[in-house]
Amino acid sequence: MILPHRNTVLNKHSWLSLTVIVLFSACGKKTNEIKPERKDITETVFASGTLEPENKYNLTAQSEGYILELKFDYGDTVKAGQTLAIVENKPNSISAASAEALLGLAGMNASAEGPTLKQAQQNVELLKDRSRQDSIQYLRYQKLIQSNSVSKLEFENAKLAFESSKTNYMNALQNYKLMKQQTEQQLVIQRSQRDVNSVSNENNMVKAVLGGRVYKKMKETGDYVRRGDVIAVIGDPADLYAKLSVDESNIAKIKIGQEAIVQLNTDKEKNFSGKVTEIYPYFDDATQSFYCKVKFKDEPELKISGIQLQANIVVGRKTNALVIPKIFLGYGNKVNVKGKGMVPVQTGFISGEWVEILSGVDQNEVLVAEQIK
């Protein structure tokens, strides 16, 4: 769209009035003749959209069950981490309690007073004492065999008993170390399981991810929810922006930093200025358009999400441009010049009302609208 340079955006009725003025003479009689004229013009892209809060997100259920309690209502302001809903999920609660109990047992078994380790420790001490006694007996028989005070068989039996008790003691010691390692490993596993079940149980408490205002309440107390179901929509009421839908034929003209004039459907007499801050890098099949974000310089006082709006994004400006009403431009970019007939012209900006003429005619030539198809 090409606009005459002015500070406000004209509505559709204003554009209609402007076109009618061009097509009527000063005396009020209809005429089909005009001369090209020079104007400061502004090219804009029209886009419709909605008013949206920044950091808008869906508060979703993380577990399955009935909603026991909702701790918010429409329009409430909530803080990050605040519990907003409680979902009844008995399996999660039972698993969490069971994991806590098993962790206690694992901790007891891993301690020095645990029955398993204590029994193994006692066995080690018993075999250690026996090994010590058999060692003393073996040394005694070594001395006796030298003086032939004992038989060789008795000496060999003492030696065998010492070696056997020594082996049993070492095996018992290794077994104790292995059991201690296993109980500590089981303690780590149970602690991890406890933490996992604790998180699952905490999922029954639905908490706000970010602070903001509740714009939509999707569920009520007693509703059954599944994991991922939306319970509420939350956003930042202090930071609003216009989410605009731009036709694919115009998206290439939109650039970051371009000015935009926004008009809310709730107050069509007031215009809000802003700038394009983001162009979403995807095409929406449902609306057959692209989206861009416009941040306001002065935000609207009405902080309501979803208000319908329209905007004109300024994509170009030109001073002292030669323009004609679009209805005087014929097929094949030709104009009907009085006394010359159809003359080809080179055009620049083209909108629903105006056409910029780069070459082909000048301000002194008279254009007629008749016979233009």
Same domain? For 178 and 284 the reply is: no
- What is the pLDDT, as a whole number, of residue 9? 38
247 and 350 part of one domain: yes
- pLDDT tens track for 268-304: 889 999 999 999 999 999 889 999 999 999 888 877 8
| pLDDT number for residue 103 | 66
Q: Indicate the number of domains in the chain.
A: 2
The band of 21, judged by pLDDT with boundaries at 50, 70 and 90, is: very low
Q: Return the closest-CA partner of residue 348 out of 316, 372, 373.
A: 316
> What's the first-to-final CA gap in the chain, in angstroms?
22
Band (pLDDT 50/70/90 cuts) for residue 116 is confident
Asked whether residue 238 falls in the same domain as residue 282, the answer is yes
The answer to whether residue 372 scores a pLDDT higher than 50 is: no
- The answer to whether residues 144 and 50 belong to one domain is no
- CATH number of the CATH domain containing 328: 2.40.30.170
Identify the pLDDT of residue 64: 86
Domain contains 309: yes
Residue 68 lies inside a defined structural domain of this protein: no
Residues 197 and 237 in one domain: no
Nearest Cα residue to 42 out of 250, 277, 323: 323
Query: Do 196 and 247 reside in the same domain of the chain?
Result: no
Q: Does pLDDT of 152 surpass 70?
A: yes
Other CB atoms within a 10 A radius of the CB of residue 209 amount to 14
pLDDT digits (tens, 9 = 90+) for 171-204: 988 888 888 888 888 878 777 777 776 666 677 8
Distance CA 169, CA 179 (A): 15
* Boundaries of domain holding 160: 91-202
Domain match, 189 and 256 both:
no
Whether pLDDT at 11 is above 50: no
CA dist 128 and 359 (Å) reads: 111
Domain closes at, from 185, 202, 219: 202
> Within a domain: residue 132?
yes
What sign has the CA pseudo-torsion 73, 79, 81, 82? negative
In a domain, 311, yes or no: yes
Residue (of 246, 240, 313, 319) closest to 41 by Cα position: 319
Domain boundary among 202, 223, 254: 202
One domain, residues 353 and 241: yes
**Sign of CA pseudo-dihedral 365, 368, 371, 373:** positive
pTM: 0.57
Give the model confidence (pLDDT) of 307-348 as tens digits: 999 999 998 888 889 999 988 998 889 999 998 999 999 998
Query: For residue 110, which of 175, 188, 174, 170 has the smallest C-alpha distance?
Result: 188
For residue 154, is it within any domain?
yes
237 & 364 share domain: yes
Q: What pLDDT score was predicted for residue 351? A: 66
Report yes or no on 85 lying in a domain. no
Q: Once rounded to an integer, what is the mean pLDDT over residues 87-101? A: 71
**How far is it, in rounded angstroms, from Cα 243 to Cα 50?**
5
Query: Which residue has tokens 């010359």?
Result: 340
Least confident among 34-43, 92-101, 148-157: 92-101
> Do residues 242 and 296 touch, judged by C-beta distance below 8 A?
yes
Is the same domain home to 196 and 245?
A: no
Q: Does some domain include residue 217?
A: no
Among all chains, which residue has been given the structure tokens 């005619």?
361
For residues 47 and 165, membership in a common domain is answered with no
Is residue 243 in some structural domain? yes
Provide CB contacts within 8 A for 287, sequence distance 6+: 245
- For 224, residues 6+ apart whose C-beta sits below 8 A from its C-beta are 65, 66, 67
The model's confidence at residue 93, banded by pLDDT at 50, 70 and 90, is: low
pLDDT tens readout for residues 231-272: 999 999 888 999 999 999 899 999 999 999 999 999 888 999
- Examine the domain organization and report whether 130 and 195 are in the same domain: yes
Nearest-CA neighbor of 264 among 303, 234, 291? 303
Total Cβ atoms within 10 A of residue 373: 4
